[in-house]
Each structure stands twice: as C-alpha cells, then as structure tokens.
C-alpha cells in the first residue's frame, strides 16, 4: 500500500516538473500502474481504496502513518485536492491514469472515471438488524471481565483472553445494529468507575473506527486499545483516583503518571498489541501538538487510534456518573468537543463523532451509566 502511494506521489511530482509526454512522466505513470497490479494480485482483490482520516491513510484493515516523505506527499496531494476516498480498480491502465495524474498535479479537471473513483469519507451506520449467530455481550461476560479487572490491583496480572473476548463481543454488538448496544451494568462502587468507563470508551472507539471501514483484527486492536487506555490508573491510589474536587500539586502529578505507567505495563505483556501501549501513552496528547502530558522532547501528532480514544474518553467522562461528580450531559460534552476541535481534538473525527452520537441515540445511551 505504501509503495503504490509512493509511486502515485512520484508520478504527480514528475508531472509538475515535465510535460505529459515526457519520458519521466510516462515511466512514473507506468510504475504506478504496475504497483497497483502487483498489489491487487497480492491481496487477491479487484481494487484498492485509500481513505484519508485526518493525517492518516486507512487501506483495507491497515492504518498507514506518515512514515516516509513520499507517503506524506501523497497525503498532502489528497488534502490539497479535497479527496478523502480514492479507489483504484485492478483494470486501470496508463491511458486512464495519466489524465488523473495531470489533474492531481493541477493541470486538468479532477473527476472520477471508469476505474478511478474519488469522493468523501462518510460516517455510515447500519440500522438494520442482521440475522446471524452473534449477540451482544451478556451480563455474565461483563461480570467476568469486571472481576478480572478488579483483581489486577492485587495480582498485577492482566486477563488478556477475557478482555479480548469482551471486545469481540462488543464488535459483534456494533456490527449487528446500533439499536442493540449492550446495557452496561450500573456503577455500584467508586472503584468500578475505571472499568465501566473503559468499556464505554472501547464501544465508542469501535463505533468510530467501524464508520471508517476498519474491520477484523485492526478493528479489534482499536477496541482493545480503547478498553486498556486507562489501565495505568489502576496503579494510582484509590484516594487520589476518587478524590472529590480538583487535583492539585503532588496529587495531580501522580495522576498524570497513569499514561506512562499504562504504556510501560502494556508493552511488557504478551498477547497485547503494541497499539494498546501507544494509546495508553498518547490519549492525553493534543491534536495540535501543543504541550500536554506526557511531555515529549519532540512534539508529534498522536496516532489515529489515540485521537479516536481521546474523543471517546472526553465524551464518556462528561456523560457518565463519576465517583466525585454528576454527569454534565451529552450536550455539554458535544459542545466541548466542538469548541476544542482543531486544538485538543482532530476536527474531522469530532465532526464524524458528533454526527455519530447525534444520529444514533443507542450509542449515546450505551455510553452513559446511571
């Protein structure tokens, strides 16, 4: 996927430097066509679709970060031309690709063609119930995961298998229909808040990720990362975790360490994907890369999963009964997300999230605990 993006970027660069019939332009377009054909043959598919979400490319069930200069240039090209979704079909040839490259380089009209489809990324939620064998998580599953989570404080052993099973059940719940979101158990004890909040965040992250076409193991990895984002808080003394009012001084400094503690712990656990450790570390970092915590020597944008988790984390924290305060409500949570879009939060993800929770009452209901 990165190689194809690189080839397209190279072709656009050549076209900006040379006329359309120049040998270097012809060679670069042919290279892009060859890269596409190798990719579809390798994947045994009939097309390749890039979806641009903020500064990340989603291709199939993989997320491509801006790891190389050509990929960054490809993302920049799509942004400048207002393309959020690009599909290239297997039968695309150089004659059809060449005018598209011209248009991307600014010489021509950008439009879809027979084997090239351009468009916008949209949130799509399927309201129709699906007749299959999957069901939302049962109360028993939630209780088993809850008990295992609670034992973490004493045993320092993460029940990975049980939590993975819970996430798969959450995925099935989202996949069936948003009207069958699981009814979360009530908050009986203050110390249970972290678990209930984490399940809510996982559910909201899964709903966001699924809207952008993520599925399979990648979708599960996003859900697990959401579920484990606050695991470091289980290292924080309960009296600080549940203290009424604002934390200050040493207590606040202790609370801020939960991101690093969570990342350190998850990075050492067999069976936990690296994405969970990344999200645990990044979920309080800002979209605009301004100082937050943990402090970085070289500021960078958090990953796509972290940006989704941060939005879900804020929304649920404001919408949920907490040990030390009453919920502020959905309206206040949405207003805060909108106000901070572009600074604390990814504006495209905020826009889609607001549409998601606004159009699907079940999601909002499932994300509040009474």
Comparing 133 with 270, the larger pLDDT belongs to 270
Q: pLDDT for 35-75, tens place per residue?
A: 999 999 988 888 888 888 777 788 766 777 656 777 888 88
Q: Provide the percentage of residues in the chain whose pLDDT is more than 90.
A: 39
Closest listed residue to residue 162, CA positions, set 182, 143, 187: 143
Q: Provide the percentage of residues in the chain whose pLDDT is more than 70.
A: 82
For residue 23, cis peptide bond before it (omega within 30 degrees of 0): no
- How far apart are alpha carbons 225 and 69 in whole angstroms? 28
- How far apart are alpha carbons 316 and 313 in whole angstroms? 5
Give pTM, 2 decimals: 0.69
Q: What is the pLDDT of residue 355?
A: 85
- How far apart are alpha carbons 262 and 256 in whole angstroms? 11
- How far apart are alpha carbons 161 and 329 in whole angstroms? 34
Going along the chain from its start, the domains and CATH numbers come out as 2-119 (no CATH), 139-366 (1.10.3210.10)
Q: 279: part of which helix (H) or strand (E)?
A: helix 274-282
Q: What is the pLDDT of residue 138?
A: 55
Q: 71: part of which helix (H) or strand (E)?
A: helix 69-80
Closest listed residue to residue 276, CA positions, set 235, 319, 230, 313: 230
The mean pLDDT value of the chain amounts to 81
Highest mean pLDDT (candidates 231-235, 347-351, 358-362): 347-351
Q: pLDDT for 116-175, tens place per residue?
A: 999 876 555 444 334 444 445 555 667 777 777 777 777 777 778 878 888 887 887 676
Residue 296: pLDDT over 80: yes
Is there a contact between 205 and 163 (Cβ–Cβ < 8 Å)? no
Query: What does the chain come to in residues?
Result: 370
Q: What is the pLDDT of residue 361?
A: 44
């Amino acid at each position: 996927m990165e190689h194809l993006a690189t080839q397209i970027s190279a072709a656009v660069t050549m076209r900006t430097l040379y006329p359309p019939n120049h040998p270097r332009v012809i060679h670069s377009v042919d290279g892009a066509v060859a890269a596409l054909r190798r990719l579809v043959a390798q994947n045994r598919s009939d097309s390749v679709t890039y979806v641009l979400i903020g500064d990340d490319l989603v291709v199939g069930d993989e997320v491509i970060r801006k790891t190389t200069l050509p990929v960054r240039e490809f993302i920049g090209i799509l942004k400048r031309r207002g393309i959020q979704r690009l599909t290239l079909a297997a039968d695309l040839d150089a004659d059809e690709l060449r005018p598209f490259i011209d248009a991307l380089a600014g010489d021509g009209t950008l439009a879809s063609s027979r084997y090239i489809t351009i468009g916008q990324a949209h949130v799509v939620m399927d309201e129709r119930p699906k007749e299959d064998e999957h069901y939302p998580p049962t109360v028993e599953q939630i209780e088993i995961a809850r008990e295992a989570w609670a034992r973490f404080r004493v045993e320092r052993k993460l029940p990975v298998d049980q939590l993975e099973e819970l996430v798969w059940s959450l995925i099935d719940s989202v996949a069936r229909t948003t009207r069958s979101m699981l009814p979360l158990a009530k908050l009986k004890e203050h110390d249970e808040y972290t678990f209930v909040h984490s399940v809510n965040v996982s559910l909201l992250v899964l709903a966001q990720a699924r809207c952008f076409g993520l599925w399979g193991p990648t979708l599960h990895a996003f859900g697990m990362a959401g579920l484990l984002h606050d695991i470091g808080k289980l290292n924080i003394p309960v009296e600080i975790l549940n203290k009424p009012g604002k934390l200050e001084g040493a207590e606040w400094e202790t609370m801020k360490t939960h991101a690093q503690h969570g990342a350190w712990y998850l990075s050492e656990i067999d069976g936990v994907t690296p994405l969970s450790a990344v999200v645990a570390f990044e979920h309080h970092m800002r979209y605009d890369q301004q100082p937050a915590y943990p402090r970085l020597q070289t500021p960078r944008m958090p990953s796509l999963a972290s940006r989704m988790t941060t939005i879900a984390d804020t929304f649920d924290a404001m919408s949920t009964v907490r040990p030390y305060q009453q919920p502020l409500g959905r309206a206040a949570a949405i207003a805060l997300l909108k106000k901070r879009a572009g600074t604390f939060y990814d504006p495209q993800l905020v826009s889609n999230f607001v549409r998601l929770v606004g159009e699907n009452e079940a999601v909002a209901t499932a994300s509040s605990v009474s």
